[in-house]
């Protein structure tokens, strides 16, 4: 499979069909996710091409960029915030993001909104609300905006913390949309992510639930083993099938994250049990982060 943008001078983006998602007649139920930053999403046309050689793509997905869609989204930002903001006189670590910053950053974050939400430790139910509510959050940028506004309103907001997790996601370009801090030495002195406003960590117990941040980081390692892990965690077959065939969970890591969320709310939840299950499926490297809670930070 390949992704081609007419009028966009760049070779097609190759991608593969998730083979288990083919039905008995060979029709595609879902596609593996790929990240394409430009051009913007638009109308999609799928057409069959001549299958001349064994390695030649059988199908090509054509995407036509609709500039008016992008312009409409930008216009919506201005309609929402019609009057220009007065920039803050001083920008330090705890200075809240301006509306302009959020609007510009959200368009850059785009498809990575769910990853940022997890690293910002947004509660998983709130994360799910954004994922499912396609009416209120109809675009990736609107989803990203909600995540940024959530963190902006939190008591532990800190620009250094935000930069830390943007770097973890390799979204360094998003930082360019942020106002420069007046005292950059503050970042160097405190260390990125070492926030004076962060809530004190509670003592970790065996029944301390996984944080959203932990579930995200663990899921990036679980990947294709999400179903095996769910089985040994005694997640009901019906719940596993719902995730498997629900287009909302279209990546392996989002499925793994959902399985961890289900286990998180089970009566017999235990970090030790989860560590033992990771050992059972051969992912020994995930035992220590679960037991020690090091990935909560």
Q: CA-to-CA distance for 70 and 84, rounded, in angstroms?
A: 21
Domain count, the chain: 3
Question: Which pLDDT does position 23 carry in this prediction?
Answer: 47
Kindly report, residue by residue over 47-98, the tens digit of the pLDDT: 444 444 444 444 545 444 444 444 445 445 544 555 567 878 888 999 999 9
Does one domain contain both 83 and 177? yes
Q: Measuring CA to CA, which residue among 48, 54, 17, 11 is closest to residue 34?
A: 17
In terms of residue numbers, what domain contains 45? 1-65
Cis bond leading into 39, ω under 30°? Answer: yes
Residue 61 backbone dihedrals phi, psi, to 5 degrees: -100, 115
Of 26-40, 124-138, 236-250, which gets the smallest average pLDDT? 26-40
Is residue 9 located within the same domain as residue 75? no
**Residues 223, 112: one domain?**
no
Within this chain, do residues 182 and 75 fall inside the same structural domain, yes or no?
A: yes
293: left (phi over 0), alpha (psi -120 to 50) or beta: left
Query: Does residue 201 belong to any structural domain of this protein?
Result: no
Residue 202 lies in a domain: no
Q: How many residues does the chain have?
A: 297
pLDDT score recorded for residue 97: 94
Long-range pairs, 140-143, Cβ under 8 A, ≥24: 140/109, 140/110, 140/111, 140/113, 141/73, 141/106, 141/107, 141/109, 141/110, 142/106, 143/113, 143/114
User: From CA 226, how far away is CA 221, in angstroms rounded?
Assistant: 10
Q: Which of 117-126, 183-192, 198-207 has the highest mean pLDDT?
A: 117-126
Integer distance in angstroms from the first to the last C-alpha of the chain? 39
Same domain flag for 160 and 229? no
Q: What is the CA radius of gyration of the chain?
A: 21
**Which residues does residue 17 pair with via DSSP β-bridges, in sequence order?**
31
Of the three residues 65, 95, 120, the one that is the final residue of a domain is: 65
Domain assignment of residue 137, yes or no = yes
């Amino acid at each position: 499979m390949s992704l081609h943008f007419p009028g966009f001078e760049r070779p097609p983006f190759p991608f593969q069909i998730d083979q288990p998602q083919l039905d008995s007649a060979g029709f595609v139920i879902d596609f593996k996710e790929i990240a394409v930053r430009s051009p913007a999403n638009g109308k999609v046309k799928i057409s069959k091409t001549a299958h001349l050689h064994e390695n030649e793509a059988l199908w090509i997905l054509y995407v036509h960029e609709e500039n008016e869609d992008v312009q409409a989204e930008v216009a919506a930002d201005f309609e929402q915030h019609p009057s220009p903001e007065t920039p803050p006189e001083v920008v330090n670590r705890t200075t809240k993001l301006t509306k302009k910053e959020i609007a510009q950053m959200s368009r850059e974050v785009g498809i990575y909104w769910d990853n940022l939400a997890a690293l910002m430790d947004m509660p998983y139910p709130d994360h799910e609300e954004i994922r499912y509510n396609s009416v209120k959050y109809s675009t990736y940028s609107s989803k990203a905006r909600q995540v940024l506004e959530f963190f902006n309103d939190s008591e532990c907001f800190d620009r250094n913390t935000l930069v830390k997790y943007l770097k973890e996601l390799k979204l360094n370009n998003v930082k360019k949309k942020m106002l420069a801090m007046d005292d950059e030495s503050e970042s160097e002195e405190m260390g990125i992510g070492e926030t004076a406003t962060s809530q004190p960590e509670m003592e970790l117990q065996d029944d301390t639930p996984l944080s959203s941040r932990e579930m995200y980081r663990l899921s990036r390692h679980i990947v294709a083993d999400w179903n095996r892990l769910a089985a040994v965690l005694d997640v009901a077959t019906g719940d596993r099938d719902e995730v498997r065939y629900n287009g909302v969970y279209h990546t392996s890591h989002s499925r793994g994250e959902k399985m961890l969320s289900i286990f998180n709310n089970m009566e017999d939840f235990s970090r030790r049990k989860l560590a033992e299950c990771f050992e059972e499926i051969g992912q020994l490297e995930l035992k220590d982060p679960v037991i020690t809670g090091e990935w909560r930070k």
